[in-house]
Amino acid sequence: MTTWEHAGRYRCQYQVLVLFGMSETSDPVQLVLTDHRYPSPCISLSPDDLVGTGTKFTVHVEMGANVTIQCWNTGYRGTILLHKHGHSAPVQRQDYSGVGTAAFSLFALTLSDAGTYGCSYRPKSRPFASSALGDSVMLEVTPTAAPSGAERNSRGNQVMSVVRGCAAAFVFILGLYFVLDACRLMVW
């Protein structure tokens, strides 16, 4: 069972043989424990017209748009973290000296930005303690619709590419025929 004594920063190192000495020390990892005595942070989206309803909501945004996810807690200084479901490490973090809101901006959204986001915070007085994740928001990123004439232009470009490819193949075969015919005449 994990207790508060286990929380902290860890590094690894190994020794193969006495003659070869010690390995380099690994990058540090942190064991952070969730402390349910800290209230979960709140979450909202900006611009305001993107906000859904309820504690868990879905927001539909077109690719290329910018979104700001705001997280806040009440009463604790420290670090606010933005998490994306399925990722072990926080996506972004902000340290702050007072009680307030952290604004996490996601610029020029792509399909890989889609997912469920939530916030937690770590009090400054206990850096290896964390609040539980608060409410979450699901971000759905949809491809940008092509202008109506763009699809027609795209098909026209494809047709022209096929015609040019066929013409190039015909010219190549015709040139090969003349070269082979000239070689045949030289042999006689």
| 38-47, 89-98, 112-121, 171-180: the lowest-pLDDT one | 171-180
Instruction: With beta carbons less than 8 A apart as the criterion, state whether 71 and 134 touch.
Output: yes
Is the pLDDT at 128 greater than 80? The verdict is: yes
Query: What are the structural domain ranges in the chain?
Result: 34-142, 147-188
Topology of domain 34-142 in CATH is Immunoglobulin-like (2.60.40)
What are the tens digits of pLDDT across the range 67-106?
A: 999 888 877 778 899 999 999 889 999 887 666 688 899 9
Say what the pTM is: 0.67
pLDDT of residue 82: 94
Q: How far is CA 39 from CA 53, 119, 130, in A?
A: 21, 12, 10
Which sign, positive or negative, has the C-alpha torsion 177, 182, 183, 187? positive
